[in-house]
Amino acid sequence: MLQEIPRTGAEPHNPQITPAEAQAAARAVINLFARWDLTDDEACQILGGLSARTYARWKKGDIGRIDRDLATRLSLLLGMHKALRYLYRDADQAYAWVKKPNTAFFGRRALDVMLDGSIFAVQRVRAYLDAERGGW
């Protein structure tokens, strides 16, 4: 016999990410960075100058409070992962993309752009990928 599962109420006017969602995103990004084969220094720079000590704690599963800027970065990075998986059938190609030179970035790698450290640099790569996959 089928049983209806209660629906979760939508909150379109509350764009805040919950602490549990932010921690899940941080765990996913740690895994993504491993697939991208980033150094801890590169990861910390992309995450807005996160300290090496904090990142080491994250990798051990001890993820503390995540502020709005960091939550936004995590969201942008996960959006990049999604876009790359849409663009490439082969997962290895998708993960390798960040380290390949790209004419859209004047021959620089997407990683080089993101290593600028600003949230705008991370957004620039995300916007490029969304445009490539036909997103808005």
Model confidence over 17-32: pLDDT tens digits? Answer: 788 888 999 999 999 9
Q: Could you tell me what percentage of the chain is helix, strand and coil, using 3-state DSSP and rounding each to the nearest 5?
A: 60, 0, 40
Model confidence over 105-117: pLDDT tens digits? Answer: 999 999 999 999 8
DSSP state of 49: S
What are the domain boundaries of the chain? Answer: 19-132
Closest CA to 50 of 20, 29, 80: 29
Task: Say if residue 14's pLDDT is above 80.
Answer: no
Q: What is the value of pTM for the model shown? A: 0.85
Task: Say if residue 52's pLDDT is above 90.
Answer: yes
The pLDDT, as a whole number, for residue 17 is 78
